[in-house]
Amino acid sequence: MDKTYYSKLVKDEALRLGFTQCGIAKAGFLEEEAPRLEQWLNNNHHGKMAYMENHFDKRLDPRLLVDSAKSVISLSLNYFPEEVQSDPNAPKISKYAYGKDYHLVIKERLSKLLSFIEQEIGEVAGRAFVDSAPVLDRAWAKRSGLGWIGKNSNLIDKKSGSFFFLAELVIDLELTYDSPFVTDHCGICTRCIDACPTDAILSPAIIDAKKCISYLTIELKEEIPEQFNDKMDNWMFGCDICQDVCPWNKFSVPHQVPEFAPTESLVKMKREDWEDITEEVFSRIFKNSAVKRTKFKGLTRNIDFIKKV
């Protein structure tokens, strides 16, 4: 078996399928991340995301997710939009949720990549992961050479910034492995820390989710605490502040993924349209959208909360 040839084959096909980057790491235990994850959980920085406490060992070792796993193929997919919401006063939606739910879009591409591997190389055992299983995406992406983890805890690539999704294929095929990304190019920059209106970035790469606007508008199912009533910066679903201010995102270019294109009605909606949104309009605009995760009730809760300011 020519591992180098197979690795190139996989990477070339990943790029042909539209992925932005593809790197490969040897499957194993994430020693550096183990104490960090344990401390983060012990400090209750995960808030109400109780699922983060589950499958601790599996989060740190993909060999517990896929029997005889040998390789973790990390992939990124650009979602930076060409068009953004037109009304500067309208409640804001994170750029990643403009179009079709990324879980659906990426899983389809991962399925095609796995089928390609089986056709060209032979039968392999493997699983695809898209932010829906106990896998530490950023750790594997860094280990696969795709970038470094910035102070805002996002993976950053020098050529394209950070507006991209991460996903993995964990397979039982031995391949040629890329070198981990070891250089931190954030330097002394603290723009993301300084810009966060809720002070959610406690220290470089340490986020208190309980203060994060994305957590408050998506993960939190209870009422948003009143302490944040003047700190939401008009975000109704997710938040892009720490990415928008990052100097590396000056290199972001519009994606080439048709499924991520927003509907015209979404980007053209004005503030009053959002404040008067009905469940019927919600279902039409956000059909097959990641925004459906918060449901109509959750989105209107968020809109009502930021409307108080």
3-state helix, strand, coil in the chain (%, to 5): 40, 15, 45
Tokens in use for 223? 């009422």
Cα separation, 28 vs 69, whole angstroms: 8
pLDDT at residue 290, rounded to an integer: 95
Parse the chain into domains and list their residue ranges: 1-309
Look-up of token digits 């925004």: 291
Which pLDDT score is estimated for 1? 66
Question: Six-digit token pair at 88?
Answer: 């500067």
Residues of the chain with pLDDT under 70: 1, 309
> In this structure, what DSSP letter does residue 244 have?
H
Q: Which residues of 141-162 are buried (b: 16+ CB within 10 A; e: fewer)?
A: bbbbbbbbbbbbbbbbbeebbb
What is the DSSP code (8-state) at residue 91?
P
- Per-residue confidence (pLDDT) for residue 263, from 0 to 100: 84
Of the candidates 87, 131, 172, 273, the residue annotated as catalytic is 131
What's the pLDDT score for residue 308? 77
Q: Which two tokens stand for residue 231?
A: 């700190």
Token readout for 222 is: 């209870």
Q: Assess contact for 39 and 200: CB atoms under 8 A.
A: no
Catalytic annotation present for 199: no
